[in-house]
Structure 1
Amino acid sequence: MRLKPFFLIALASQAATAAESPSVAPSPDPGPAQALHCERLFDARSGKMLGEHTIVVRNGKIDSVVPGRAKLAEGTESIVLAGRTCMPGWTDLHVHLGQQSNPQSYSEGFRLDPTDYAFRSVGYADKTLMAGFTSVRDLGGEVSPHLRDAVNQGLVKGPRIYAAGKSIATTGGHADPSNGFNSELEHLLGPPGPTEGVINSVDDARQAVRQRYKDGSDVIKITATGGVLSYAKSADAPQFTVEEVRAIVDTANDYGYKVAAHAHGAEGMKRAVLGGVTSIEHGTEMTDEVMSLMKQKGTWYVPTLYAGRFVADKAKIDGYFPEIVRPKAIRIGAQIQRTAGRAYKNGVKIAFGTDMGVGPHGDNAREFLYMVEAGIPASYALQAATVHAASVLGADDQGVIETGKRADIIAMPGDPVADINNVMKVDFVMKDGVVYRKPDTE
């Protein structure tokens, strides 16, 4: 309960300097119609690159999409994106905007206040939007629902946020906030329960989801297996029963929520899929049996290759992670990319997510490079961050450039289908018809 007043203080301070601060969002009024002249247009539905198009934007929505250089109505603002590819704004389905890994991460939880994390999240959100990600699904962190509200109110710049709030775990599992506490501290604070997102029964499961509703979450996140970075030995042991998962999913459905399941081990994945989750996150040790079950159930896979590469690299540095974490990071981090390639070949539906917050915010697009390295075609990788991601969210108003959809549009020099490295060059960002980033020279 401390978070809200601290975060309101942070927002009040931010709002007080809005007039002179370059990081504050522009007015939500998009002004007159705008026309984007694009040398190429990526069709997210088909995965094909089209030729020159003009996209007309009005009142935050796409008014029309016309092949070639269209004749414009008087008063329309013309934005010429010469040499550039336009496409729908990207969605990262797995971020943690309230944190970013560093060698002091494990001690910071004892030293920093919620206010510190709130202020940090403002910069992380800005970097994410500037990289071309107009929407994110924040899968765990008490800051994110408040950051979402600040972005929606125009107090700070950032992507559209679908916030999970506190992840749901089991006692001792990944996302149990008391992991690593000594016995005296745990005795002083008491064991966490459903209110804190820790469950041990079907009834607890229902209560935890209802608490997330009370807290204002948009989506539910469970930790179906151990985790790489949690202060615990196992990264892959199953940590929920099928009945507990099903209770979470059924209760989430009552509130219109979808459920994302962090999972590294095969048995935990299997239970999560059988319980009806919408997506499996990470999926490191996914077996052919699990893949078959996911295809049968229509379960999405969000690989988070960036996080795997990042933790495997940092585990080589003495002192970066606690010793209980290093073996997990080395073993599991290197395996995720191979699993993603196998899943694609086996026809599992893949959507885009990075687990950013493990790695540095703003570098999210590097995930595309790792997906292509894994054997996923560039066009499919781009669909994973656009139309596929919108499907995972259940958001039918974004993810494509079509009349009537949100005017979330990004552009970059070159053709990212021909050379995926071009995704690292985004220099035009529009969200809801508001331009946040323009090329230095149009």
Structure 2
Amino acid sequence: MRFRIEFVIGFLLSFATLHAEKISLVGATVINPADGKVLPNATVVINGDKIERVAMGRQDAATLGKQIECVGKFILPGYIDTHVHFFQSADLFTRPDGADLNSVRPYKDEVAWIKSHIDDVFARYIRCGITSVVDVGGPMWNFDVRKKANATAKAPRVAVAGPLISSVSREKLDLGDPPIVKIETREQAREFVRKLAEQRPDLVKIWYIVDKDHPVDSFRAIARTTIEESHAHKIRVAVHATELETARAGVEEGADVLVHSVIDKPVDEAFVKLLKDRHVILCPTLVVFERYGRTFSHQLNLTPEEQAWGNPEVIASLDVTK
């Protein structure tokens, strides 16, 4: 018999908090990734916004409050998606700076569609068992997305950064509220961080892009100033740096998070030690670059789950043969 896995804790915790009542999930199999234990026929007692206890076997019904039958289901902590951008839909039209398809779908229409489907995105996260999401950079309306999520029961917890502090510009993404802002001086960096701090961001994001016209050291002082000013406001800093030396520079200057793996060469032991010594979080984004290649080479093979749970309009756009 095939059991359908349900991820219910995040939603029910939100429900219980709103209604301040005790709820018990009865009869499920509980999986605890922290210690590796699997508890069959378990009861999870939620009191307000806290998990009061998890126990196996028969429980005293008088202590359980409202009971929800969960036999045949699995309960585990909600997943965390640590690298998303709400201003991007994942369809073919969402990054005209990389693939300009304005002649097919104007970018302003793409952004309007994205804004009108935020609730749908929230619901799909919950459906997939993702109860926390980190948006690592986008337009200033990112902060409206966080506010909306906080006011929506069927939504994940959302942490956001504002516009990316960048070594390069991306004019094709600028509709008046740019997601990427080129910063050219240390004073500009300080002023922009102070502007972001007014919105109480969860992170400040640096887009550390290097090429022949923008070598690593040309932006390093601005990165340092951005990190210093952010830390002065008690805000952590995430850095996009996909080259080994750029990533090394970002961490040496005080970055708290690297939002991608290094892709230009194998990392060395000194870099690994640097990350460990500085307690830096690295989000590997293992498939993001691969999926670009697969999409444009007609080799994108979505899993049955992706087909079932992804937005059908977005998925349809990925067929580049049409």
Q: TM-score range by the shorter chain?
A: 0.7 to 0.9
Residue 306 (structure 1) aligned to one of 269, 272, 287: 287
Residue 214 (structure 1) aligned to one of 198, 211, 235: 198
Deviation of 1:242 after TM superposition, in Å, equals 3.6
Residue 205 (structure 1) aligned to one of 189, 194, 204: 189
Contact 1:224 / 1:240 at 8 angstroms: preserved in 2? no
TM-score (norm 2): 0.74
Inter-partner Cα distance in structure 2 for 1:150 and 1:113: 20
Residue 267 (structure 1) aligned to one of 240, 245, 252: 245
* 1:214-250 CA-partner distances (Å, limit 9, x unpaired): 2442211111235xxxxxx78x964864432232222
Verify: 1:45 aligned to 2:34, yes or no: yes
TM-score (norm 1): 0.55
Deviation of 1:162 after TM superposition, in Å, equals 0.3
Deviation of 1:61 after TM superposition, in Å, equals 1.8
- 1:263-412 equivalent positions in 2, closer than 5 A: 263-285=241-263, 287-288=267-268, 289-317=270-298
- 1:410-421 equivalent positions in 2, closer than 5 A: none
Verify: 1:118 aligned to 2:115, yes or no: yes
* 1:51-99 CA-partner distances (Å, limit 9, x unpaired): 4432111212212222434223267122232233321111111111232
Deviation of 1:153 after TM superposition, in Å, equals 2.0
Residue 243 (structure 1) aligned to one of 195, 205, 221: 221
What SS does structure 2 have at the residue aligned with 1:168? strand
* 1:224-279 CA-partner distances (Å, limit 9, x unpaired): 235xxxxxx78x96486443223222222222211111121111100111011111
Contact 2:41 / 2:71 at 8 angstroms: preserved in 1? no
Cα distance change on mapping 1:55 and 1:180 into 2, 3 Å: closer
Contact 2:16 / 2:47 at 8 angstroms: preserved in 1? no
What is the root-mean-square deviation of aligned Cα atoms in Å? 3.6
Contact 2:135 / 2:158 at 8 angstroms: preserved in 1? yes
Inter-partner Cα distance in structure 2 for 1:163 and 1:255: 16
Residue 145 (structure 1) aligned to one of 119, 126, 143: 143
Cα distance change on mapping 1:55 and 1:144 into 2, 3 Å: same
Structure 1, unaligned stretches of length 5 or more? 1-24, 227-232, 321-358, 364-442
> Where does residue 4 of structure 2 map in the other structure?
none
Letter in 2 for 1:178: E
Structure 2, unaligned stretches of length 5 or more? 1-13, 97-101, 301-305, 311-322
What SS does structure 2 have at the residue aligned with 1:103? coil
> Where does residue 224 of structure 1 map in the other structure?
208
Cα distance change on mapping 1:361 and 1:93 into 2, 3 Å: farther
Identity %: 22
Contact 1:241 / 1:271 at 8 angstroms: preserved in 2? no
